[in-house]
Amino acid sequence: MRRWNEALVTNMLPEHVARHFLGSKKRDEELYSQSYDEIGVMFASIPNFSDFYTEESINNGGIECLRFLNEIISDFDSLLDEPQFRCITKIKTIGSTYMAASGVTPDINNDYTCMKKEEQSDKECWQHLADLADFALAMKVTLMNINYQSFNNFMLRIGLNKGGVLAGVIGARKPHFDIWGNTVNVASRMESTGVMGNIQVVEDCYNILKEYNFRFVRRGPIFVKGKGELLTYFLKGRDKQGSFINSSSVTLPHQVVDS
């Protein structure tokens, strides 16, 4: 029963957070929180799923639509089992929107965790953000395959951002790990102000990710509520295997390797 309970807690919370609760004798009212300076945040929505959802009898009152959404989200979840996405944490789903973060798993942020932070270059520090961008592109490929098999035309609208957040676990019943802060708000705005089928990033993200051989198209300045005009870019793909840490890793479907 103890192992069963541990498995349940590990499914609800990130592994390092679950270990904190399972290995402590803290009072229930004590709050778990952790600040992070350099993480990546992604929001990925399927805006046209709302058009697909109906509660007509042919869909068994909406149950069949829900079943199909569950298959999509489960396929996205399965991507997290891939070794190259081990530094990515699923935060939650909100309707048909998938929220994830990178860099909040201190044990496996990148292959340079044994190095002191001040000894790492920017490229080493932000490897997890490149992995998150790869994850976003892999989600697009996954949904494209689902569309092909089910004769649908769902499209993702994705927003990425990077920066500092406050993470914590809230709730006495069904405790939930979540992240808060300006970084999260801007990532959400990158999704909501984005264009179907595209991954939108702010200029700071662009400046980092272009060093990993990602391809971009400049969108230009757009108005973002609470932020004014921000210069944004659309992330289109990756020209070649960009991981300088593990060059032997499997090439993803959106990556083109020089012959």
Helix (H) or strand (E) holding 220: strand 214-224
CA distance 107 to 86: 10
What values do phi and psi take at 257, rounded to 5?
Answer: -95, 135
Other Cβ atoms within 10 Å of 222 Cβ, number: 17
Angstrom distance (rounded) from CA 37 to CA 6: 29
Identify any residues that bridge with 99 across adjacent strands, giving them in sequence order: 43, 92
HSE (CB half, 13 Å, CA atoms) of 206?
A: 19
Contact yes or no for 187/195 (Cβ under 8 A): no
Distance in angstroms (rounded) separating the CA atoms of residues 111 and 246: 9
Per-residue pLDDT reduced to its tens digit, 140-188? 999 999 999 988 889 999 999 999 999 998 877 778 889 999 999 999 9
pLDDT computed for residue 43 by the predictor: 98
**Band of pLDDT at residue 56, cut at 50, 70 and 90:** low
DSSP 8-state assignment for residue 258: -
- Which one has a higher pLDDT value, 238 or 119? 238
Q: Is the pLDDT of residue 14 over 80?
A: no
Query: Among all chains, which residue has been given the structure tokens 């391809």?
Result: 215
Q: Across 46-55, 120-129, 178-187, which has the greatest mean pLDDT? A: 178-187
Among residues 255, 258, 257, 248, the alpha carbon closest in space to that of 83 is found at 248
Distance from C-alpha of 80 to C-alpha of 88, rounded to nearest angstrom:
7
DSSP 14: -
pLDDT for the residue numbered 114: 40
Active site residues: 189, 225
Whether 176 and 169 have beta carbons less than 8 Å apart is answered as: yes
Domain 41-238 has CATH 3.30.70.1230: yes
* 254 and 158 Cβ atoms separated by less than 8 Å: no
pLDDT in tens, 242-252: 443 343 344 45
- Kind and range of the H or E element at 234? strand 228-238
Lowest mean pLDDT among 56-70, 75-89, 167-181, 227-241: 56-70
Percent of the chain whose pLDDT exceeds 70: 75
pLDDT digits (tens, 9 = 90+) for 202-224: 999 999 999 999 999 999 999 99
Q: How many helices (H) and strands (E) does the chain have?
A: 8, 8
Rounded to whole angstroms, the Cα distance separating 224 from 34 reads 28
Decide if 242 contacts 210 (C-beta within 8 A). Answer: no
Q: Hey, which residues does 89 pair with through a beta bridge?
A: 101
Spatial contact of 214 and 242, defined as CB atoms under 8 Å apart: yes
Coil/strand/helix, residue 189 = helix
Under a CB-based contact definition with an 8 Å cutoff, are residues 31 and 168 in contact?
A: yes
Beta bridge partners of 102: 40, 88
Task: State the pLDDT at residue 257.
Answer: 41
